[in-house]
Amino acid sequence: MDEAKIIESLTRQTEQIKTLFSRMDNLEKLTDSVNKLAISLERLTARQSATEEHITTLTTDVDELRQKPAKRWETVVTGVISALVGAGIALLIK
């Protein structure tokens, strides 16, 4: 090989090395981004689980609140029926 070919070869290799370093830097940035995304996803999953637990608790509380008026109404109706039956029996006894 003559000197010109050696210089040309070294120049190409130098450019290839620069390109490889540039690609390696880009891959490091991409790896960091993927790592941050994985951490964010893990945190989001934990928050979603906590939110689901809160929703379950709230649903149970709402169901209990819905049942309270029904229970009160049943108690009132039972009281009225008992009073009417008691009055009827009182009238029959007299």
Answer whether 0.75 is exceeded by the pTM: no
**pLDDT computed for residue 10 by the predictor:** 94
Distances (CA, A) of 44 to 7, 30, 49, 51: 55, 21, 9, 10
**pLDDT computed for residue 33 by the predictor:** 96
* Tokens, residue 59: 């649903």
Q: Tens digits of per-residue pLDDT, 23-54?
A: 999 999 999 999 999 999 999 999 999 999 99
